[in-house]
């Protein structure tokens, strides 16, 4: 299970570095390297046609040489390791998660939602988070054109960003706090105990 501390990952009032997007992760992990370069090569140029001032932040430790080479310190910024990821996510206009390979539920989506930063993700990245609803608490896009179009649409629509932000935070508070998860496990254990008790009572040992 995946969970967050809703007090640690809560919306903070920092100056929005508009217009900007963030991709974060351990940057020598192949699924993250692939996603970061895919956004840079196939999606970002399409966004720049509509929003030329867009900034792309790649945040996370161990960036590969390929990742470091695309940084120019202005429109594409590769930070490497940061002590605290929260300010970077909070100040970004959008969180992007264009994952194409890898497994497991994505912390990068849950944490961004908890911080109130709206997320655009490939459907592959949303696996394991059944509460995600396209256009309601996240935007899902699977082709470069659709992904770029979604970035442009959200950057140009502040109200939509706020709506997705609020709904995303709600998903986390209702499903992905450690308290929620502990409660779910407790209920599962109690149900299992009750079922076993019923079996024993129906099949007494003689």
User: pLDDT over 90 for what percent of the chain?
Assistant: 74
**The CATH number of the domain where 95 resides is what?**
3.40.50.2000
Q: 133 and 85: one domain?
A: yes
- Do 129 and 95 reside in the same domain of the chain? yes
pLDDT for position 32: 96
Q: How many domains does the chain have?
A: 2
DSSP string, 134-187: BTTTBEE--SHHHHHHHHHHHHT-HHHHHHHHHHHHHHHHHHSBHHHHHHHHHH
- Residue 17 to residues 90, 98, 155, 167, Cα–Cα distance (Å): 9, 21, 12, 22
Q: How many CB atoms lie within 10 A of CB 143?
A: 11
- Farthest CA pair distance, the chain: 80
Residues 137 and 61 in one domain: yes
Q: Report the run of H or E that residue 76 belongs to, with start and end.
A: strand 76-80
Q: Do 184 and 170 share a domain, yes or no? A: no
Answer whether residue 99 shows pLDDT above 60.
Answer: yes
* pLDDT for residue 191: 62
Look at residue 9 and tell me if it is in a domain.
Answer: no
- CA 18 – CA 177 distance, rounded (Å): 29
Q: What is the pLDDT of residues 175-186, one digit of tens each?
A: 999 687 666 655
Q: Which residues contact 170 (CB under 8 A, 6 or more apart)?
A: 137
- Whether 11 maps to a domain, the answer reads no
Q: Is residue 196 in a domain? A: yes
Whether residue 111 sits in one domain with residue 31: yes
Find the domain containing 200 and state its range: 177-206
In a domain, 1, yes or no: no
pLDDT at 206: 56
What is the model's pLDDT at position 117? Answer: 97
User: Same domain for 43 and 116?
Assistant: yes
Same domain, 199 and 130: no
């Amino acid at each position: 299970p995946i969970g967050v501390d809703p007090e640690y990952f809560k919306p903070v009032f920092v100056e929005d570095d508009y217009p900007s997007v963030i991709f974060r992760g351990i940057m020598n992990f192949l699924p993250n390297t692939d996603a970061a370069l895919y956004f840079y090569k196939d999606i970002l140029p399409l966004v720049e046609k509509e929003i030329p001032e867009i900034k792309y932040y790649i945040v996370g430790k161990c960036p590969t040489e390929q990742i470091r080479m695309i940084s120019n310190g202005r429109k594409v910024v590769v930070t490497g390791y940061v002590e605290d990821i929260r300010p970077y996510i909070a100040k970004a206009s959008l969180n992007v998660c264009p994952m194409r390979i890898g497994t497991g539920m994505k912390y990068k989506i849950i944490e961004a939602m908890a911080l109130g930063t709206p997320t655009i993700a490939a459907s592959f990245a949303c696996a394991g988070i059944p509460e995600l609803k396209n256009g309601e608490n996240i935007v899902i896009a699977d082709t470069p054109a659709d992904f770029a179009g979604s970035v442009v649409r959200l950057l140009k629509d502040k109200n939509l960003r706020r709506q997705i932000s609020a709904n995303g935070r709600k998903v986390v508070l209702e499903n992905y706090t450690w308290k929620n998860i502990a409660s779910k496990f407790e209920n599962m254990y109690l149900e299992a105990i009750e079922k076993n008790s019923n079996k024993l009572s129906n099949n007494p040992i003689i």
